[in-house]
């Protein structure tokens, strides 16, 4: 059971806009930055969004992030077939002990 809650799957057709949610609590998302990763099995997870809504260099502006209260979202516009992968949210958690916590991952299918 992951500390952050994501839908297990999402889908869209090429060109569409898709959003993936990430729900947490007062000890993680509400008080710390949210980061998003794109992951293809067998490869290194790729940082997609950091500090809620910032993009590392090289990440297209089709990807955007937002945060409000104890929830965050990743939006992908102009969906492409190469976007088909797993997406994870992450945040620092200050509850009992300082730890990184993650969502369970959302598998995005491009129909």
Partner 1 sequence: QVQLQESGPGLVKPSQTLSLTCTVSGVSISNGNYYWSWIRQPAGKGLEWIGRMFPSGSANYNPSLKSRVTMSVDSSNNQFSLKLSSVTAADTAVYYCASSNTGMGAPLDYWGQGTLVTVSS
Residues lying near partner 1 in the complex (CB under 8 A): 2, 32-33, 35, 42-47, 50-51, 56, 88, 90, 92, 96-105
DSSP-derived pairing of the beta strands 71-76 and 85-93: unpaired
Token pair of 57, please? 């260099």
In angstroms, give the least distance from the CB of 61 to partner 1: 18
Distance CA 102, CA 83 (A): 20
With the CA atoms of 43, 77, 24 and 7 taken in that order, what torsion angle do they form, in degrees rounded to the nearest 10?
A: -70
Cβ proximity to partner 1, 15 vs 42, nearer residue: 42
In angstroms, give the least distance from the CB of 83 to partner 1: 19
Cβ proximity to partner 1, 62 vs 107, nearer residue: 107
């Amino acid at each position: 059971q992951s500390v952050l809650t994501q839908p297990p799957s999402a889908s869209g057709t090429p060109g569409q806009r898709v959003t993936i949610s990430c729900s947490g609590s007062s000890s993680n998302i509400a008080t710390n930055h949210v980061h998003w990763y794109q992951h293809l099995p067998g490869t290194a997870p790729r940082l997609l969004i950091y500090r809620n809504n910032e993009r590392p260099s090289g990440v297209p502006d089709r990807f955007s992030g937002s945060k409000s209260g104890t929830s965050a979202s990743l939006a992908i516009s102009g969906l492409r077939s190469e976007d088909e992968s797993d997406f994870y949210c992450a945040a620092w958690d200050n509850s009992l002990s300082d730890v990184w916590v993650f969502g369970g991952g959302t598998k995005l299918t491009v129909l």
